[in-house]
């Protein structure tokens, strides 16, 4: 009895009367009574000791080992002795045990609330069933809604970024206290007026960190005109990469020339020439894209709006805007997923070994690979063996006299030098650059003076941002504006329009990195709730999670 008495929710307000253990159903029923002799009226707070009646409440409590436990709580009703009080009869409260009209104890409600905040509804219910608690997921989520919203102090440094409530359709805004490393608010949209209203209601913020969004810039200027705005360095480099990639997309002949020269230098076998029909289809697709490109520019010169051009031609507005922003026709660039690693890569050493041993029957090799766990297709194996055969034939052509077939080595073709890959090679950090990459960049610089200028401008800007060198940034602005590259001139003008925020981003250590991490956690919580994450529920889980 003394042991069970110590396990009660409150040893001061409850007294153990009896208990019953049902081993068949693994259930422990405990009968307890209140130890209070007087109770305060919930309306007038007057104390009373006049008992009106008694009744019993059943409360679910925490499990004890593998046994579920319920409390049979005997409580009393009292007369209110204050004649001026509107309440004549009231029930005694036990705030340390439970709240009025509840069916579970406070400590069980706190445990279930912690499960709901950590896992949500569906996953939380699965854990509750393992722990011996029976309730539905809606009841679990209701525990989150019953929590009062936390009060957050106004931060000195605030990070702002957007997140997708429904990607491409509806977005919200997350506000993060960069000093305390925690989100403090979620806004239901990403409009400038909404952000300005929140900032006006929370004065005292001295530094505001954001991306290059003009909407957030406007909202910050209206809501906190005295605060310093800081443009995030990651987004500055991201904007630079987009500008450089758009420029290199207009230099496709130079990229192809450097790519072919690099492959010949490494003595690698080029990919087989595509069939005439496939090459003809590619030329037809390019002709159609070129015709669309010229048609878009003609309509724009006539004063037609971008949205009307997209509707008339049946294209997306982003595609139309991208064509209009490019002074030259942008050649098609292969997508990264077209150059990703193959499922045949782990088996290529075995294929080369068998090929050099004289086993050149492709179907037999394919069957052997399937026995080893290869799950790819036969044409993939046939294409690779065709490359091995081409490599062997080229070595035979270079070999004088007769002799045995030369051995071949594994063929590892590098990814094609696209505008995106060239951008990555140019902007990678100094300590991450390899000699082969630098040789590619040198060959690119030798192709055309404009390419050399773009590479120099890009690397100088990236260096000034990464090393936080504001003086070098001012010099770079002058160089970009005086250059002949339209893309970099336009980029420099956009930086000048947001000069104070960009200069602060290059100077201060403040960044939006924390905000990006909080957005990633928000996305995880949103996916965890399988579409049930309405804005109110999502906001509570994000704010209470930290």
Give the domain-ending residue among 40, 74, 104. Answer: 104
122 shares its domain with 183: no
167 shares its domain with 90: no
Instruction: Report yes or no on 318 lying in a domain.
Output: no
Average pLDDT over residues 211-228: 94
Instruction: Report yes or no on 322 lying in a domain.
Output: no
Instruction: Report yes or no on 37 lying in a domain.
Output: yes
Residue count of the chain: 546
Instruction: Report yes or no on 298 lying in a domain.
Output: no
Asked if 473 and 496 touch (Cβ cutoff 8 Å), the reply is no
Task: Name the residue range of residue 242's domain.
Answer: 234-252+418-507
Report the Cα–Cα distance between both ends of the chain, in Å, rounded.
40
Output the CA–CA distances (angstroms, integers) from residue 235 to 176, 205, 494, in the order listed. 17, 22, 13
Residue 272: the pLDDT is 47
Asked if 135 and 128 touch (Cβ cutoff 8 Å), the reply is yes
96 shares its domain with 120: no
For 381, other C-beta atoms within 10 Å of its C-beta total 21
| Cα separation, 509 vs 232, whole angstroms | 10
Of all helices (H) and strands (E), which one includes residue 371? helix 362-371
168 shares its domain with 228: yes
175 shares its domain with 243: no
Count CA atoms within 13 Å of residue 509 on its CB side. Answer: 2
Instruction: Report yes or no on 150 lying in a domain.
Output: no
173 shares its domain with 204: yes
530 shares its domain with 541: yes
The CATH number that applies at residue 538 is: 3.30.420.10
Distance from CA of residue 376 to its chain's centroid?
Answer: 31
515 shares its domain with 494: no
Instruction: Report yes or no on 440 lying in a domain.
Output: yes
128 shares its domain with 76: no
Radius of gyration of the chain from Cα atoms? 35
| Cα separation, 223 vs 200, whole angstroms | 5
Give the domain-ending residue among 104, 135, 165. Answer: 104
Asked if 137 and 146 touch (Cβ cutoff 8 Å), the reply is no
Check whether 270 has a pLDDT greater than 60.
no
Instruction: Report yes or no on 312 lying in a domain.
Output: no
11 shares its domain with 97: yes
Confidence tier at 168 by pLDDT (50, 70, 90): confident
503 shares its domain with 444: yes
Count of domains observed in the chain: 4
pLDDT tens readout for residues 298-327: 898 898 999 999 888 888 888 898 888 887
Q: What is the DSSP string of 261-321?
A: HHHHHTTPPPPPPPPHHHHHHHHHHHHHHHHHHHHHHHHHHTT--HHHHHHHHT--HHHHH
Confidence tier at 283 by pLDDT (50, 70, 90): confident
89 shares its domain with 130: no
> Does the global pTM surpass 0.75?
no
Instruction: Report yes or no on 314 lying in a domain.
Output: no
């Amino acid at each position: 009895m003394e042991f069970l008495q110590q396990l009660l929710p409150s040893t001061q307000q409850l007294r153990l009367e009896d208990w019953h253990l049902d081993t068949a159903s693994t259930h422990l029923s405990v009968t307890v009574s209140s130890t209070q002799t007087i109770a305060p009226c919930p309306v007038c707070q007057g104390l009373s000791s006049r008992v009106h009646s008694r009744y019993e409440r059943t409360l679910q409590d925490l499990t004890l080992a593998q046994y579920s436990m319920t409390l049979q709580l005997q409580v009393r009703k009292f007369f209110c002795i204050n004649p001026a009080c509107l309440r004549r009869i009231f029930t005694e409260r036990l705030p340390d045990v439970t709240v009025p009209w509840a069916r579970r104890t406070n400590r069980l409600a706190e445990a279930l609330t912690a499960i709901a905040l950590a896992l949500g509804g569906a996953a939380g219910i699965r854990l509750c069933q393992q722990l011996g608690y029976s309730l539905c997921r809606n009841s679990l989520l209701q525990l989150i809604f019953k929590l009062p919203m936390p009060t957050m102090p106004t931060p000195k440094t605030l990070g702002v970024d957007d997140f997708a409530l429904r990607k491409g359709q509806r977005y919200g805004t997350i506000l993060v206290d960069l000093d305390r490393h925690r989100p403090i608010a979620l806004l239901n949209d990403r409009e400038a007026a909404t952000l300005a209203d929140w900032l006006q209601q929370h004065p005292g913020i001295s530094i505001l960190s954001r991306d290059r969004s003009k909407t957030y810039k406007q909202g910050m200027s209206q809501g906190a005109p005295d605060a310093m705005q800081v443009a995030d360095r990651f987004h500055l480099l991201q904007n630079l990469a987009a500008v450089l990639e758009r420029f290199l997309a207009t230099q496709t002949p130079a990229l192809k020339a450097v790519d072919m020269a690099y492959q010949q230098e490494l003595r690698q076998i080029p990919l087989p020439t595509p069939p005439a029909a496939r090459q003809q289809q590619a030329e037809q697709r390019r002709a159609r894209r070129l015709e669309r490109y010229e048609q878009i520019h003609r309509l724009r010169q006539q004063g037609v709006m971008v949205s009307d051009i997209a509707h008339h031609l049946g294209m997306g507005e982003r595609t139309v805007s991208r064509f209009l922003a490019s002074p030259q026709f942008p050649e098609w660039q292969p997508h990264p997923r077209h150059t990703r690693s193959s499922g045949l890569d782990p088996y290529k050493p075995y294929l080369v070994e068998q090929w050099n041993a004289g086993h050149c029957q492709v179907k037999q090799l394919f069957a052997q690979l399937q026995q080893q766990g290869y799950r790819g297709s036969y044409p993939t194996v046939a294409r690779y063996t065709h490359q091995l055969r081409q490599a062997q034939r080229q070595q035979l052509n270079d070999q004088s006299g007769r002799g045995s077939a030369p051995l071949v080595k594994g063929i590892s073709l590098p990814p094609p030098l696209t505008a995106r890959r060239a951008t990555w090679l140019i902007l990678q950090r100094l300590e991450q650059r390899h000699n082969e990459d630098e040789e590619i960049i040198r060959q690119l610089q030798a192709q055309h003076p404009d390419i050399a200028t773009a590479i120099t401008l890009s690397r100088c800007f990236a260096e000034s941002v990464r090393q936080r060198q504001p003086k070098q940034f001012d010099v770079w602005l002058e160089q970009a504006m005086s250059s002949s590259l339209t893309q970099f001139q336009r980029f420099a003008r956009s930086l000048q329009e947001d000069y104070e925020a960009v200069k602060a981003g290059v100077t201060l250590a403040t960044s939006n990195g924390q905000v990006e991490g909080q957005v990633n956690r928000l996305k995880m919580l949103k996916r965890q709730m399988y579409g049930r994450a309405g804005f109110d529920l999502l906001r509570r889980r994000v704010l209470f999670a930290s």
